[in-house]
Amino acid sequence: MSHSTSCFVRPFACLAISLSLAACAGQPAAPSLTGTEWRLEALGDSAVMERSQATLTFPEAGRVAGNGSCNRFFGSVRITQGHIGFGQMGSTKMACMGPANEQEARYLAALQKAERYELQGRTLLIHVQGMAQPLRFVQTRP
């Protein structure tokens, strides 16, 4: 490459790099969920049962735990730039009857189809594939 060509190309390369860095800097990082705890308030367009203990906790990066409504669950979670995906979940196997069992099954199935999340103050919304309304949680511990 001749000296005159490199003088012409170099400013454009620097401009392209600068614009790329500025674009990345302009995107705010999604707040971390690590160390937070949440209580389920709405399962899509359905309210949760009164005295429901359905929860969601992010004890450390890449891990999730909670209460499905009567059983404890745990597993992995992948969170990147507003997107969220839950891996395989394990859970206790306590007897769970009637509405609590139905709610737990719907809740855990919804987590498996989670696509993205939003934080609105002390409210966490998890948008789920195939659900018109997101899961809605209220923060119980920062």
pLDDT digits (tens, 9 = 90+) for 8-40: 444 434 434 444 433 444 445 557 899 999 999
Of residues 10 and 140, the one with the higher pLDDT is: 140
Rg (CA), the chain: 21
Among 53, 65, 139, which residue's Cα sits nearest to residue 104?
Answer: 53
Per-residue pLDDT tens over the stretch 109-134: 999 999 999 999 999 999 999 999 99
Binned at pLDDT 50, 70 and 90, residue 103 comes out as very high
d(CA 43, CA 35): 22
- Residue range 37-141, CATH number: 2.40.128.270
Among 39, 46, 44, which residue's Cα sits nearest to residue 68?
Answer: 39
What is the CB neighbour count within 10 angstroms for residue 43?
Answer: 22
How many residues belong to the chain? 142
